[in-house]
Amino acid sequence: MTIHKEGRKILVILLLLLFGINYLLIEIFAVAAIVFNSFLGCSVMLFLLVLQFFRNPKITPLIDSKFVLAPADGKVVVIEEVEEVEYFNNKRTQVSIFMSPVNVHVNRNPVSGIVSYFKYHPGKYLVAWHPKSSTQNERTTVVVKMSDNLEVLFRQIAGAVARRIKCYIKEGDVVVQGAEFGFIKFGSRVDILLPTDATICVNLGDKTQAGMTRIAELPG
């Protein structure tokens, strides 16, 4: 288990801030022991809570070109047919994974191939489960073309709490299934847009693990 690079600066700043406040309480303001111990306990819990947001466990991705793997840890909250209007302009099966604050926040490539499309969209910060969050919230859209020319689209979507999306890939990049492509701080969701004839391998409410859970079997 390691700490993700996105969290290292935040954790150092938080540690120094909490240390400084606790030092002031006991050395400058000389608060009662019960008050200091209570605040110290809250400080430790807060630091550990933020620390777990940025954990980055080592995994061995379940690489298999026949399947689309989960791009995020979380819970499946949407499985439905939608009209995709940004890139494909046709019907697609959407699978959405909600990332709570207690999930690992590393995002991993669901398939291998070449990034054929990438776009960052500024936007709102509706709660991640809101139906319009896929089209109105801050988000990134990525399309990867596989070796058989089949394309899969996926989106990182910011939410009411998660207001910082990091995506490390760009158009033309060669990506590997299960490898890290981004990070969403403190939660939110990832959508995957699949061909309508793909066989969905998960159900609503299922828990997913990035790079390990099979989301769908591709046609052909």
- What whole-number distance in Å separates Cα of residue 201 and Cα of residue 215? 5
| Average pLDDT value for residue range 40-62 | 88
User: Is residue 62 a part of any domain in this protein?
Assistant: no
Read off the pLDDT band of 117 (50, 70, 90).
very high
Residue 186's pLDDT is 66
Domain count, the chain: 2
Q: Find out whether 103 and 182 touch, Cβ atoms under 8 Å.
A: no
Whether residue 104 sits in one domain with residue 200: yes
Whether residue 47 sits in one domain with residue 28: yes
Least trusted range by pLDDT, from 52-61, 63-72, 82-91 = 52-61
Q: Find out whether 54 and 5 touch, Cβ atoms under 8 Å.
A: no
Residue 75's pLDDT is 96
Q: Find out whether 155 and 82 touch, Cβ atoms under 8 Å.
A: no
- What whole-number distance in Å separates Cα of residue 57 and Cα of residue 12? 20
| Average pLDDT value for residue range 75-96 | 96
Whether residue 207 sits in one domain with residue 119: yes
User: What does the chain come to in residues?
Assistant: 220
Using a pLDDT cut of 90, give the percent of the chain over it: 60
Q: Over the Cα atoms of the chain, what is R_g?
A: 20
Longest dimension (CA), the chain: 71
Q: Looking at the predicted structure, is the pLDDT value of residue 119 above 90?
A: yes
Whether residue 108 sits in one domain with residue 153: yes
Q: Looking at the predicted structure, is the pLDDT value of residue 42 above 80?
A: yes
| Average pLDDT value for residue range 116-133 | 71
User: Is residue 61 a part of any domain in this protein?
Assistant: no
Per the prediction, the chain carries an average pLDDT of 89
Whether residue 107 sits in one domain with residue 140: yes
Residue 188's pLDDT is 82
| Catalytic residue ranges | 188
Whether residue 22 sits in one domain with residue 90: no
| Average pLDDT value for residue range 122-138 | 62
Whether residue 139 sits in one domain with residue 176: yes
Whether residue 91 sits in one domain with residue 37: no
Whether residue 74 sits in one domain with residue 34: no
Give the end of a domain, one of 14, 32, 56: 56
The 3-state DSSP class for residue 144 equals strand
Q: Looking at the predicted structure, is the pLDDT value of residue 102 above 90?
A: no
Whether residue 87 sits in one domain with residue 186: yes
Least trusted range by pLDDT, from 70-79, 143-152, 167-176, 180-189 = 180-189
Q: Find out whether 190 and 169 touch, Cβ atoms under 8 Å.
A: no
Range of the structural domain that residue 18 is part of: 2-56
Q: Looking at the predicted structure, is the pLDDT value of residue 196 above 90?
A: yes
Q: What is the CATH number of the domain that holds 139?
A: 2.70.70.10
- Among 113, 89, 101, CA closest to 176: 113
**pTM metric for this prediction:** 0.86
Whether residue 47 sits in one domain with residue 14: yes
End-to-end CA distance of the chain: 37
- Greatest mean pLDDT range, 32-41, 95-104, 155-164, 197-206: 197-206
